Chains A and B, each alone.
Chain A
Amino acid sequence: MSDVLQDEKDAVGTRPQIKRSRLRLYDLIPTGTLGLRTRRTRAVLSALGIAIGIASMVAVLGVTHSSESHLLAQLDRLGTNLLTVVNGDDLGGTEVALPATAAPMLRRISGVLAVAPTAQISTARVYRNDQIPTGQTGGLAVRATDASLLDTLQGSLKLGRFLTVADAPVTVLGHDVARQLGIVRLDAGTRVWLGGHWFTVAGILDPFTLAPEVDRSALISFAAAKDLLGYDGAPSRIYVRTDPDQVTQVADLLAHTANPANSFQVKASRPSDALTAQIAVKQSSGALFLGLGAIALLVGAIGIANVMVISVLERRAEIGLRRTLGATRVHIAAQFLTESLVLSALGGFGGVLIGSGVTVGMAMAQDWGIAIPPVAIGGGFGVAIVSGVLAGLYPAMRAAALSPTDALRTTG
């Protein structure tokens, strides 16, 4: 009885205080990375799993973003306020003529800033010289236009000058035409064989992203077309530059204004819509690849969890020893969680580096500006850490749940 009383008295505090078991935060990293340092190959391989997942996510975001920025910059430069008016194509792919009055009528629409009529001359072809067989057209067209084209398309010349009113047999070559005919320099004698006549090449254009048909055309003046090629004066494709704020209103009026009699034949379009559509496609395919990246990351995280579970099984003796040395369950859990965190952080860091490298390489190859969204880098690293915690949680809890005697006995 007296013993029991003595014991109860002890329990309320006459015994010396037990000092607490403590693990300094500073010691947690070396303790938590001990397993990784012992098994380096395994650590590198399991971090690689996370790295591949993160790299693919960062690369997808980076590449999508870079190409998108490139397209947006292009759109910004080209403007979304260019409209084209055509009367459709015939079976041979040649543009059908619009009424000759179309261009002056279009100029009257409020909100129209500039109008440039062009006419595809289906009877004429352009060749490097008169020795080329007529069948070898190379898919190049001849197009009559006037000086307003360059301003309306906001284009620029690579070499030489553009058409002027007074020009007789002079041509300005579209970017692709010059390349295809092998004309890289201009001098007074540079000529091409066009519609059965020699035309002096006055200039070469830079490419037009929004009017690729101009790239594939040799441009001549309306006067030359009439005098030499029997052109009747009706345009087949008209470019309209509008006030950026009135694009839709103007677009609605184009067909009726250009061809009041047969407005249903007229097609008015906005070439920049193709670029906008490209961005949308990139965004949706980006989402798909991002999903694939997420799956890769999941596989990586499961890899880490797997390695950690094996590690806990292999290191029962160490767990038993540490418990003997005074480690609490929390210390053991923290050690294994740290290990998994360090693994995933290394993987995340590597993944962000690889992903950024892929983006930079891709952007440089495609001549885009490099645009890696900070959210991809921060998010990639963050996702790696979170997956490390999730992957490490279960193994860490298993390690912590192990009683010291079980841990020691199974290895004994």
Chain B
Amino acid sequence: MTVLELRDVRKVYPGEPPVESVRGVNLAVEAGEMIAIRGASGSGKSTLLHLMAGLDRPTSGSVRLDGQRVEVLTDLQLAGLRAWRVGVVFQQFFLLEALTAVENVASGLLYRGIPARQRRAAAVEALERVGLAHRMRHKVTKLSGGERQRVAIARAVVGRPAIVFADEPTGNLDSAKGGEILSIMRELNEEGTTLVVVTHEERVAAACQRFIEIRDGVVVS
């Protein structure tokens, strides 16, 4: 089953001159896949990630995410899609520093409107999946970079979304910690999570089943 399908997707930012960050990308991700989108800084890969994750709409072309056409959805529908069907992991983790690890993970379910107790139970389970159950009551400010990224991954997968996007997930980590994160992502993928990893690192791309290369907003391989 195709979870994500891009057809001739373009994104143009208005200005003088207009900037075309993504130029006619075609891409399909099947359920259960783990693919990498590799590109140098400024290649348009972050814009592409925003388009794929339903955070932005394409200027032209079609993004079909979990069976929904992103470009025709309203803001409210897009928010619903993100709350229920999409998980995102960021390079900078974006954790809420006042909260503990388990509270951060539970916040991944905050906008589904489910009771706090259920969110917490799911968060504990997600932390176990990333091997961080023993640190769940710690404030995230007390965790190491690798641990923080694992919390962020747990938050992305806590709601068992149809697809998880990771934007440079190892970018802020040393190679040992980066390796741990990669193996956790591989384990999650083996458990059935569909993963799209955006990276500039060869090593990360190599860890995925397949990768596509993007340069100047165009898929080159």
A joins B in a complex:
yes
The listed residue with most B CB atoms (<10 A of its CB), out of A26, A320, A323, A326, is: A326
6 A-B pairs with the lowest CB-CB distances in the bound complex, closest first: A326-B83, A22-B113, A326-B111, A21-B79, A21-B83, A321-B94
Which residue of B has the minimal Cβ distance to A33? Answer: B98
Docked complex Cα distance between A184 and B148 (Å): 81
Q: Which of B68, B73, B94, B111 sits near A317, CB closer than 8 Å?
A: B94
Mark B residues whose CB is within 8 Å of A: 46, 50, 53, 55-56, 62, 66-69, 72-73, 75-77, 79-85, 88, 90-92, 94, 96-99, 107-108, 110-113, 115-116, 155
Proximity string of chain A (301-325) to chain B, C-beta cutoff 8 Å, 1 when within and 0 when not: 0000000000000000110111111
A7 at the interface (CB under 8 A from B): yes
CB A314 to nearest CB in B, in angstroms, measures: 12
Chosen A-B contacts, 30 in total, with CB atoms closer than 8 Å, are A7-B62, A10-B69, A15-B67, A18-B77, A18-B80, A19-B80, A19-B83, A20-B80, A20-B113, A21-B83, A21-B112, A27-B116, A34-B99, A317-B92, A317-B94, A322-B110, A324-B88, A325-B110, A326-B79, A326-B84, A326-B110, A327-B111, A328-B111, A331-B79, A331-B111, A405-B50, A405-B56, A408-B55, A412-B46, A412-B92
The listed residue with most A CB atoms (<10 A of its CB), out of B83, B84, B92, is: B83
Docked complex Cα distance between A2 and B116 (Å): 46
Interface size class of A (residues with CB under 8 A): 35 or more
* Residues of chain B lying within 8 A (CB to CB) of residue A326: 79-80, 82-84, 110-112
* Residues of chain A lying within 8 A (CB to CB) of residue B92: 317, 411-412
A131 at the interface (CB under 8 A from B): no
* Residues of chain A lying within 8 A (CB to CB) of residue B50: 404-405, 408
Q: Which of B76, B91, B97, B99 sits near A21, CB closer than 8 Å?
A: B76
Docked complex Cα distance between A24 and B115 (Å): 8
Which residues of A in the span 354-412 have a Cβ within 8 Å of any Cβ on B? 403-405, 408-409, 411-412
Docked complex Cα distance between A412 and B49 (Å): 14
